[in-house]
Structure 1
């Protein structure tokens, strides 16, 4: 039974003043016995119900629009809100109201199919977006439209909110749609409010519930593991539910990221087809449900994974779900990805419109085997190379259990006295004297069982007390649902910055998943263990918010044993991410290609290493497709390699603005061809850089047989094309003095002359003025 039933008199007072909401009149579940004191009210009520009949026939239509696209919400004759349209926006917005009349859905349950936020229980028989148990144990939920409004945040951004209420229980859901007009991006989330007198339990609490109309749908999603990230698969969606999810707790994107594409009617290409690109901005367990209904339309539900995550919501409290971010294009995957890039650099990625530091990292050069003298020697190599910064990686801390391997020391964040007798401050000073900045690696969310922190604070560790411990990379995860642990993690970074104010960069790693999920803190606080997965991520974000409030501009790399934690929930606090520990340049071409659909190149950290025996030029050219760095011993380079690398750093500086802030066009797909080719062009189409790589090292009887058609130029302009980053002692087959029209380069193209002896070619395109 509900916590409180409204009398007819109470209901009349409430809704008479709110008739503009067009809410369908409430009917009490219990028949009323009218006496003399209620006759007058019954007369007024009859009058109101008569009026409400006409209101019930009036629908409310809510367009959520960007420059090119629209999602349209509309109430039915019972006050339930559904998605009636998704696609290119109409020129005449008044025509949205008539869209439902063109559909012939004749199922008793059909009105729930297109629900904008499908509740569980009552008369819904399909996959819900929200499922709760009320304080009295009732498991039904119904949501009726109450009101909506659209606020203009600035000239480009609007926020539409829609309030829904259960007519029987004091529960509310507010749906939010934040639109970025020029970028054609929508961020959608929900806020669930418990108006009951006691706690409710939420079994499912999605961020978004879309309804997409079409004849066929094709889902592109990704799988992988360490060193093998972002392997694409495309499925034709059939009836039933296809679910993409993670239950890893941390490093949640390791096996299957939340980023995806849905093509309408047929698989989209780079430049053709209707396609939606989306992802959940959440750094923990997620679930995406793709359900083709019996009308062949697609229901898409995205949110936190309900697996082992029932959440207790106290009386009067609200729960805000993470953002679901998506964009739609009628012109293929290329346009959709550029939408996301423009949005991310302007609105989400930290300092997305700024610049990035080139760096030299010591990890693959030394691993754990170093001391301060060896590091100071590497500083000189960084300066000789011409990069901006030196990054000290894992292994610099812990004394009782020294961090000489990945089996000990995590959690003990004091400088190792044997390796660094003069501390981090000395290294910062020496780096500055050498003419480079200094950055450092941390993994503050983790703990080694062989550590002082573990010995002192087992209650801070996520672990089942009575079960054998299970380790991932010889470590466990600290319990960030615990405020004391949040303070500790924040303190690791704050102490480093306080002691070393000129510290220039942080590489934040996260190498373990959650095994044996149990929180001593939640148990002591009397809170359900099922909140751990959610409260962990909330705790992580609280730490990062505190850190950014005090240190708003320090660049930070988001790393998780590679790409295990790449999402826009975390990237609002970071300037860049590490796509994969696999730095083989051929593998990186494929990995970076797939990441590029969802994240701009300025965010992708690409390092030149000795992982591969391919020529240094090839490794360097691949790294230039994002934020370039090095992981080598400079003093081991031969004369020509050093000369080339120094010139490459100079070349990179000359083209980095194009790569970081230009429009990306994918020209030749390496998944289907022996070469990969992509380009970045600037806004006024006066300059571009084209990357070309041989990805198939099998015998080729001749050089690239066909020219590569460029994109993103002005057909009427004239251009020259010259090769850059040429290795010393070699010459280019590209004639830099030849003048081409933009029309020629985009229609016929230019042959980069890629072959086994010339496996990577960078071409700079410049307007002739």
Structure 2
């Protein structure tokens, strides 16, 4: 009996070990996707299925990947033996809802810094192909992945799940950092530990897609990641529409991350031989915390993700807070002089310049009728462009081409161009409706609106493209029986219009706006030079908003304006705006002489330092979520120059201030420390002002930053000296 017991125990031990440590993959084909520092590794099993075996820091010896077990099917389909959330679900012509995806081929191509791997999967029973694509950006340590789905069945198949990406991660614990909010409260950061089940971050809004939740996240494993420590994945979806990010911990405590378009109410009827291409999921891995992940994203975005990401940007003066809808030619041309006196590059004419049968004197009429209002602008836009040029500034203009007021000539002529239910009351948001951009006639209308304006006025130097509402009561006359296609096809149609415009106007600066930060994604930013983070321009609130965006978007993309909102000083507002792409929305003629002098000097400082701010490496030193202040700095690639921003966030933050250790400098170099953006007759309380200190000292000992008993800010220029 004792012998039988020992044999049984030994068998049980072997079975348990087998379950914990599946057979190694030494003889199986490996597909290795790598950047300079990161590896994503797949293995082809003996059953021809694709398994993800590794995601993390690049190993020195590639042969080591072959010892890793085949634990996680890479792109899990529905309908077979999967018990958790699938990446794809398809209903075939015969009613069968299953897929079994086997590896058929894989190809690798290289284009300079980018290595693209394409893995073809085919179903074992049906003529269905799924292609997984991975573009690895070597120096930036970014991987971009997307999926293509195709079939050759006789009739359309129905797709109900269609993920851009499925990634697997194994750890004891996971922490998710997400960004959410509402109008004027964008990008509020929140971190929580994931537990068993599914955590979903999503949007069902269609157009103003990330009004409540932004499609970005950090995922840390084993321990919470800080700015400079911890293993973390930073990810975002390049899609200007409804999205879904899923994080599911299964029964073995393994995590699967699924990203893509939101499949809610979006079943897609895929025609034979039609290629269904998902949006790109873009991610980076960091073993050194969130800061390095951010810098990876910034470098990638400037080089690949944003239109003209390494180019110039224009400082501007917007008329909105100066005039709102109440203006005429004289008021505007008078403001041109103020823009020149201030020292900005461009004057931007905002909402209210169009409509004749229904003049745009408020937000209840005129939207869609893109002709200059004759009573306001009798000489047209061309006259304003000429007058602005004569004053020495460029001219820019606001449009909202995807929207319409019911009180408009466009609505009267084309009620079938509007997304609305045919048998329900119309539902308005900001007194407007969404045009059906899936209709090619509407696409042509939007394209011609912009093209005609630019053809007639080729010296227009800037466009602000707004989108102030989401989809509700949605129905497309054009889509007929394919109503579940509307949200997907709308975004694709938006991109088609932008492709045409960018083919003809490749360099024109265009700001992406959506009632504030309702459109902030890399699907759109490949066509736009910048975005409007929020309609909330209160400088203290903006610190949090801009801080949140800084994790995923480089400062050159974030439009930060000095306005009359908020009770902070002009200096504080200016210093906060300077951490990104600075602009103004003020009445220049109401500035005091000292305020004008300060602003002119600040703009000169900005012109001198903007390349450092836009293209330097960002180091977040003190988080506003941890203390009642925020401190960050940008460092040039050669570590010869840096600029530091410090903001207090509480009116009695005096005792909160302590020494701050800097980052990113060369310890062997010496740096001159100088406070800039000083108001006239201001005596700096900054004790290090004018001193020369080593990089080693600044990073190990630090600086005691200036402060007093009210909301204060400081901008410190740090320059290498011999």
Q: Determine the structure 1 residue equivalent to 2:142.
A: 185
1:225 to 179, 182, 187: 182
Q: Determine the structure 2 residue equivalent to 1:97.
A: 66
C-alpha change, 1:742 and 1:57, in structure 2 (3 Å) is: closer
Shift of 1:140: 0.9
Shift of 1:733: 2.9
Secondary structure of the residue aligned to 1:317 is coil
Distance in 2 separating the partners of 1:284 and 1:380: 40
1:30-52 CA-to-partner distances (Å, cap 9, x unmatched) read xxxxxxxxxxxxxxxxxxxxxxx
Query: In the alignment, does 2:63 pair up with 1:84?
Result: no
Q: Is the 8 A contact 1:81 1:115 kept in 2?
A: yes
Q: Determine the structure 2 residue equivalent to 1:479.
A: 436
Secondary structure of the residue aligned to 1:126 is coil
Max radius of gyration: which structure? 1
1:212-253 CA-to-partner distances (Å, cap 9, x unmatched) read 111111001111110000111111111111111100111110
**With structure 1 as the length reference, what TM-score do the two structures score?**
0.90
- Correspondence 1:4-19 to 2 at 5 A: none
**Residue ranges of structure 1 left out of the alignment (5+ in a row):** 1-55, 102-110
1:316-370 CA-to-partner distances (Å, cap 9, x unmatched) read 1111100000001000000000000000000110010011000000011111111
Distance in 2 separating the partners of 1:498 and 1:232: 43
Distance in 1 separating the partners of 2:184 and 2:93: 47
Distance in 2 separating the partners of 1:278 and 1:347: 16
Distance in 2 separating the partners of 1:668 and 1:678: 7
2:258 to 301, 310, 313: 301
2:594 to 623, 636, 640: 640
- Correspondence 1:672-683 to 2 at 5 A: 672-683=626-637
Q: Is the 8 A contact 2:649 2:711 kept in 1?
A: no
- Correspondence 1:138-537 to 2 at 5 A: 138-154=96-112, 156-523=113-480, 527-537=481-491
Distance in 1 separating the partners of 2:162 and 2:664: 42
Q: Is the 8 A contact 1:58 1:77 kept in 2?
A: no
Secondary structure of the residue aligned to 1:259 is strand
C-alpha change, 1:752 and 1:207, in structure 2 (3 Å) is: same
Distance in 1 separating the partners of 2:74 and 2:650: 47
Q: Determine the structure 2 residue equivalent to 1:72.
A: 41
1:375-417 CA-to-partner distances (Å, cap 9, x unmatched) read 0000000000010000000000001111111111110000000
Q: Determine the structure 2 residue equivalent to 1:3.
A: none
Shift of 1:121: 0.4
Shift of 1:612: 1.2
Shift of 1:77: 2.2
Q: Is the 8 A contact 1:179 1:185 kept in 2?
A: yes
Q: Determine the structure 1 residue equivalent to 2:668.
A: 716
Shift of 1:116: 1.4
Q: Determine the structure 2 residue equivalent to 1:30.
A: none
Secondary structure of the residue aligned to 1:144 is strand
1:257-315 CA-to-partner distances (Å, cap 9, x unmatched) read 11111011111000000111101100001111100112212100001111010111111
Q: Is the 8 A contact 1:133 1:202 kept in 2?
A: yes
Q: Is the 8 A contact 2:84 2:250 kept in 1?
A: no
Q: Determine the structure 1 residue equivalent to 2:12.
A: none
Distance in 2 separating the partners of 1:488 and 1:431: 28
Q: Determine the structure 2 residue equivalent to 1:590.
A: 544
Secondary structure of the residue aligned to 2:247 is strand
Secondary structure of the residue aligned to 2:198 is strand
Q: Is the 8 A contact 2:561 2:583 kept in 1?
A: yes
Secondary structure of the residue aligned to 1:486 is helix
**With structure 2 as the length reference, what TM-score do the two structures score?**
0.95
1:116 to 51, 69, 74: 74
1:46-70 CA-to-partner distances (Å, cap 9, x unmatched) read xxxxxxxxxx994221111111110
Shift of 1:756: 2.6
Distance in 1 separating the partners of 2:470 and 2:421: 15
Secondary structure of the residue aligned to 1:532 is helix
1:764 to 701, 717, 720: 717
Distance in 1 separating the partners of 2:341 and 2:451: 32
**Residue ranges of structure 2 left out of the alignment (5+ in a row):** 1-24
Distance in 1 separating the partners of 2:30 and 2:333: 66
Q: Determine the structure 1 residue equivalent to 2:658.
A: 706
Shift of 1:199: 1.1
- Aligned pairs, number: 697
Secondary structure of the residue aligned to 2:608 is helix
Shift of 1:122: 1.7
C-alpha change, 1:748 and 1:172, in structure 2 (3 Å) is: same
- Correspondence 1:552-701 to 2 at 5 A: 552-698=506-652, 700=654
